[in-house]
Structure 1
């Protein structure tokens, strides 16, 4: 959990104490595994302080020198619009007084929950709900094999990921024509999608 920005004197005093079991320095946050390990260690030992933008020897580098290397980069604050393009269920909580913001991401149950249970439901039920041309094209592209996002986008000749998610994949998941191969890890980099029994009926 982040805290209010530190006064300069307080920050310098903390840095002067150096690293110890309750305080660690990280120059950047480009290594999420190392960052996660530090946070887990703090959580298991009752808490601590992680100062990002400070080298191991206590030199304050800040974060701007790392930010310009993040690609694609389209200017200050471009990460928020990109995140919203990828997943529209993001709540932005702007805390002006604390000079910080929180992004809360909600994962709708309708899109992910119970994806593995769908095959036994509605096995040969006729498809009566309205099916868009995009969802139908996605089901045809899947055919009889599981495919990942990139492979599906190539099959459909699509380049804009947000449009693919909004117009093709999410509606197909919501209507239960498509399911995840790894329902317990929806954001897995090896995630693939396959037709459900209902999706196979749609193609008949």
Structure 2
């Protein structure tokens, strides 16, 4: 099996995230984009590695995406205080399910999870590139998201090949000017391919920048 794009789930996750997070802060636009991608790819194991314990709108978006895909949502935080802060913050959002919260260094905890097909890592995390490298990705392929990428300027689309294990192949990558920058890679594992990789079929995601009012179309 391969990762297959489900436009109806992408739209549903996007709309529900808008309803839950819309207008709360500048992060909400990135949350909507990430939620649409996780829902659209019908992700079954969504993992996020957080820099701090406070839940962000991106966490809310991933929780909503997991609900639409019927997937498992896991958040990795660095210590018990961060876990408490995260849980308390997530509970402020009504109607959003609390993910599994695991404590420890993200690069170590991620190795205990197998079949990750949607991974979001904050570039401010310690050893964040190692988190991507050691993650046990799904044989169907995976979507990798580095948030705060543009702000820190550490990963760019020409470096994913250096970050990832040699069994993982980057099918395509893109940097989106959303939030503080999202660096996204679609990857196949052990020679597999994402659905539609060579079929000529493409899906479009529309994103409206809340500050400028500009609409951007992204083709996957």
Shorter chain as normaliser: what TM range? under 0.3
- Look at both structures and tell me which one has the larger radius of gyration over its CA atoms: 1
Select the structure that is richer in helix. 1
| TM-score, reference length from structure 2 | 0.20
Select the structure that is richer in strand. 2
| TM-score, reference length from structure 1 | 0.21
